[in-house]
Amino acid sequence: MKPKVYITRRIPKEAMDIIAGRCEYRIWDREDEAVPRDVLEAEVGDVDGLFSLLTERIDERLLDRAPRLKVVANMAVGYDNIDVAACMRRGITVTNTPGVLTETTADLAFSLMMAAARRVTEAERFLREGKWKTWSPMLLTGVDLYGKTLGIIGLGRIGQAVARRARGFSMRVLYTSDRPHPDLEAGLGVERCDLDGLLKESDFVSIHVPLTDRTRGMIGRRELSLMKPTAVLVNTSRGAVVREQELIETLREKRIFAAGLDVFETEPLPQDSPLLELDNVVLLPHIGSASIATRTKMAVMAAENLVRLLSGQEPLNPVTV
Ligand code: DGY
């Protein structure tokens, strides 16, 4: 008998083919609507495997309803949506999709730095709204990126990829990390620094830590107050790493130059969020890894992890806590 699987969203055909060949599956076959919680709870009752996205909360309550579950294959590198410890206690393997989205996400972090520094989206709104009357010396002037100092919070795969891009812009790169990386310091020309020092010295700060109990809320009013008034903050990791209300106040009072955000405390960003009223922030709908090639690779990787585990092989990307 084939293992039973539930897939929580429509996914690329390449990944569907992997699952369909080896499993019996049901799917929440929608493109842009997350599976409602009550549907998910009902669907997991008889499944051996779950293909999930970061929009699904995999907690004790859900696991209680899934007595046969053996694997949760998350189509994301981050897995803060999953209670991994609870899964491990029940012998359920959790997998993620590291590596394949590194360069794509680093590209977006860099895009956000440049867009926020040079007011790209604000300038486009200005033009579209018919406000462009004439070329003028100080119209929509921003801050330069070339040759400036970049602070990378978390020098994991994506942080390193951002550091590599920064070399092309002759930037000095500082980083924070729990431990020194002498090999990377030599190879990438980056300098380790404590968080306060990095915030004080950097012209651009880019966040690349996973969301954990330690990193939740790590950038708040105090940290933001250490940044230069000309600095730009970029977050492509998880929204809850930054205390959003405190960032809003900082931006409103123009105590930093701008921010570029791809992630938020609540996603989708509520339509009444004060962020939507601010011109000095570039806002994106969590598209860090959203290239066709990368999202396809992520889906295939998650599907392979799922199928391997259910056919008695070791998954390629198990996560532990
Ligand atoms: C992840 O993989 O964790 C991203 O947030 C989505 O690509």
Residue 269 in tokens: 């960003």
**Secondary structure element (H or E) that encloses residue 152, with its range:** strand 149-153
| pLDDT (0 to 100) of residue 254 | 98
Neighbours of 7 (CB within 10 A): 30
Q: Give pLDDT, residue 129.
A: 98
Ligand 1, residues 96, 103, 105, 297: which to mutate, most atoms within 8 A of Cβ? 105
| pTM, full prediction | 0.97
Distances (CA, A) of 143 to 61, 83, 115, 117: 48, 41, 10, 5
CB-CB neighbours of 264 under 10 Å:
21
**Tell me: the pLDDT tens digits for 37-69?**
999 999 999 999 999 999 999 999 999 999 999
Average pLDDT on 86-93 reads 98
Number of CB atoms found within 10 A of residue 203's CB: 22
Residue ranges covered by each domain of the chain: 4-99+292-310, 102-283
SS3 category, 300:
helix
Mean of pLDDT values over 181-185: 93
Rounded Cα–Cα distance for residues 232 and 230 (Å)? 7
Identify the residue whose C-alpha is closest to ligand 1 atom 3.
78
Concerning whether 208 is annotated as a catalytic residue, the answer is: no
* pLDDT tens track for 269-281: 999 999 999 999 9
Is domain 102-283 classified as CATH 3.40.50.720? Answer: yes
- Answer whether 4-99+292-310 and 102-283 agree in fold: yes
Q: Which of 286, 295, 304, 308 is catalytic?
A: 286
Residue 23 near residue 310 (C-beta atoms within 8 A): yes
pLDDT tens digit string along 7-43? Answer: 999 999 999 999 999 999 999 999 999 999 999 999 9
User: Closest ligand 1 atom, CA of 263?
Assistant: 5
CATH architecture assignment, domain 4-99+292-310 = 3-Layer(aba) Sandwich (3.40)
Helices (H) and strands (E) in the chain, counts: 12, 12
Determine contact, residues 273/254, Cβ cutoff 8 Å: no
